Structure 1
Amino acid sequence: MHEITISTSDKPKLFSQLTTLLSEIGLNIQEAHAFSTLDGYSLDVFVVDGWAGQDIESLKHEVTKKMQKLEEDQWLPLHLFPKETGTLKHIPTKNIPTKKIKKLEKQPWCSLPKERPEKIGMNYIFNHVNKPISRNDVWEIEASCLKYEKKIASGSVSDLYKGTYINQDVAIKVFKNGSLNENMHREFSQETFILSKIQHKNVIKFIGACTKPSFHLVTEYMPGGNMYDFLHIQKVVLTLPSLLKVAIEVSQGVAYLHQNNIIHRDLKTANLLMDEKGVVKVADFGVARLQNQSGIMTAETGTYRWMAPEVIEHKPYNQKADVFSFGIIIWELLTRKLPYEDLSPLQAAVGVVHKVFA
């Protein structure tokens, strides 16, 4: 495991850019610590694993290449120090008075170092560390660090907001207090546990969760919206290359889940979200489950129009139920039609079971 420290002048979406950069290299972010000052500087510390061979020099090389590209885009010059220092440093600016250091929160993701940095610049520090990654509170964040911008969706048990968390655009799912019964507590715990254990370029990125004063679940914000609206409200016609791209990205995300013994159980176009670059990611793990040792489930869950017949009939099912839903998604992408669009959801369920296709 490695610790990477990056310090620079603070900029909008910087934290999001850095987490994306590390993910693109293939690193798994186990912890993230962020600090800011009142006069516009930022310090970000990441504890990561997933680097094959634990070779710090090759890791430094890969991160440096990515950071140089980011710096070119941001107009930040880079000054390299000798290799033996293990540090790449931007031309230093000015000292920061201690009184201007602003503590963001007490949790690990938002804490201050014991000693303030003497100077701020574009600085990368690589250290090999041995830290436990299975702590129960690793995903816990303080609700006070969340900033709300606007409500983007509302349901019977939760509301969804666009907001920010430490300079990163996020989606904040807020569970309504009236819906927090024992079952909902269990669902929240299950979704949080699954999201905290997975990381893939085609799966929604988990940021953290709060349990006080109410239940909040925070993920990356996907400005491209969902594939259902894209097809059926915006009426976008996908070219064949674009359609294949979407299908491949969804299949890669689902394959990753299945490799980790996770069944999504509610795959549909409304749960496929797009980022600013058009990359499609599988989202909404509210009913997802880890496959048990027997490899079968019987509970009926999901959305009828995309649901496999064995799920509707309460028969034993496994990961193949997701594959059926994926097939419906491909049909939907090709035809731009809603599955069983002329039938009610219950009629659609009967149609699926009896193989009556719309």
Structure 2
Amino acid sequence: MENDTDEELTKLFEQYINNYRESGWCIEQQYLQIIRVLGNGASGTTYEGKYREAKVAVKAYSAKILKEDFVSVRNEMELLARLSHPNIIKFYGICFMKNPFAACLVTELAPHGELGKALYPKSGINLFSRLGQDIKFKIAIGVARGLQYLHKNKVIHRDVKPANVLLDEQNEPKLTDFGFSRLVDYSGRMTGETGSYKYMAPEVMRHQKYSESADIYSFAVVINEMFCEEPPYRYLLPVQAAIAVAKKGARPSTKKIKNDILKGMIERCWSEDPAERPDWETVIDSLQQAEVYQKKPTSVFEMFRKK
């Protein structure tokens, strides 16, 4: 039965394999070394690997996953192949393995892992306790630049959340997981409930037409969470949070943020009306202003201490 599935998938992927070979994105199995398991998710297993001399992450989609969600897997592979930006995870290629069949997405390795795990590590001491506020602004600006690049290329991520932001050795953020991402159609609008409830824009929850501004909303929730170091709607189930946002206009608390420029930027980004959300140039400029403001001494004592 499994061999039948493998043969079926090989035929299904055959034209794509040929296309990837022609475009230079196909990695031969002999050049890819698997080192260890990094994690298991609903869509497959991710490994640390080595491709030639580069350390890589290898996301392996099993035959079962490929059969159930072929379009999403193919979409992620094809999108990554056409994207290139310092804040988008670097794409090396695709490796098709046999016995058993698996399609492997090969990308750069981000050794510091997910932003979510940096915020809430099992050890109890998070990244920001050690490195301070500066690193938060670096991550926020990097994520904004990555999303700005996507939108300039008519791509909506549609699932912006801490788990989909990876950190490299210098804690430079890398957007990842493009399974839900889509090219914007000619109207610039999309419909359908896609993403993670606690980070999802209200218009998406309500199945209304939406655009790139839905990513700006999700970005605001992520950035607020990072600066507050507290999950959004922590006492609500995801569905309860979605109802509160869509029907009652609920938003995460910003009480822990004392930087007025930062707080104002976040609140504009998650405006109920998508048209009132700022563009990425304004967001990045506001973050840079907020970073400068953060570094200013707040008392006479601090002024002398800095001298």
Write the distance in 2 (CA, Å) between the matches of 1:169 and 1:149. Answer: 10
Which structure's residues are more often helix, by fraction? 2
- 1:225 aligned residue (110, 113, 120): 113
Give secondary structure in 2 for the equivalent of 1:357: coil
Write the distance in 2 (CA, Å) between the matches of 1:330 and 1:156. Answer: 25
8 Å contact 2:115–2:166 — kept in the other structure?
A: yes
| Aligned match of 2:74 | 189
Shift of residue 135, structure 1, vs aligned partner:
7.7
Shift of residue 212, structure 1, vs aligned partner:
4.0
Which residue type is aligned with residue 65 of structure 2? S
Shift of residue 134, structure 1, vs aligned partner:
9.8
Shift of residue 157, structure 1, vs aligned partner:
2.7
Give secondary structure in 2 for the equivalent of 1:215: strand
Shift of residue 156, structure 1, vs aligned partner:
2.5
Write the distance in 2 (CA, Å) between the matches of 1:333 and 1:345. Answer: 18
Matches within 5 A, 1:34-113: none
Which residue type is aligned with residue 341 of structure 1? R
Give secondary structure in 2 for the equivalent of 1:178: helix
- 2:239 aligned residue (325, 346, 358): 346
Write the distance in 1 (CA, Å) between the matches of 2:195 and 2:116. Answer: 16
- 2:103 aligned residue (197, 203, 215): 215
Which residue type is aligned with residue 241 of structure 1? D
Which residue type is aligned with residue 35 of structure 2? E
Q: Which is further off, 274-283 or 238-247? A: 238-247
Q: TM-score, normalised on structure 2? A: 0.70
Shift of residue 170, structure 1, vs aligned partner:
0.4
- 2:127 aligned residue (236, 255, 268): 236
Write the distance in 1 (CA, Å) between the matches of 2:47 and 2:146. Answer: 24
Shift of residue 193, structure 1, vs aligned partner:
1.1
| Aligned match of 1:337 | 230
Give secondary structure in 1 for the equivalent of 2:243: helix
Q: 1:174–1:294: structure 2 CA closer, same or farther, 3 Å change rule?
A: same
Task: Give aligned pairs, total.
Answer: 225
| Aligned match of 2:169 | 276
| Aligned match of 1:67 | none
Verify: 1:168 aligned to 2:54, yes or no. yes
Q: TM-score, normalised on structure 1? A: 0.60
- 1:204 aligned residue (80, 86, 89): 89
Structure 1 runs not aligned, ≥5 long:
1-132
Give secondary structure in 1 for the equivalent of 2:76: helix
1:69-115 residue CA offsets vs partner (Å, 9 max, x unmatched): xxxxxxxxxxxxxxxxxxxxxxxxxxxxxxxxxxxxxxxxxxxxxxx
Matches within 5 A, 1:271-350: 271-350=164-243
Write the distance in 2 (CA, Å) between the matches of 1:179 and 1:246. Answer: 32
Which residue type is aligned with residue 51 of structure 2? Y
- 2:26 aligned residue (115, 122, 140): 140
Write the distance in 2 (CA, Å) between the matches of 1:245 and 1:357. Answer: 24
1:100-159 residue CA offsets vs partner (Å, 9 max, x unmatched): xxxxxxxxxxxxxxxxxxxxxxxxxxxxxxxxx998542111123211111111022310
8 Å contact 2:189–2:210 — kept in the other structure?
A: yes
Give secondary structure in 2 for the equivalent of 1:180: helix
Which structure's residues are more often strand, by fraction? 1
Identity of aligned residues (%): 37
8 Å contact 2:191–2:207 — kept in the other structure?
A: yes
Larger radius of gyration: 1
8 Å contact 2:20–2:26 — kept in the other structure?
A: no
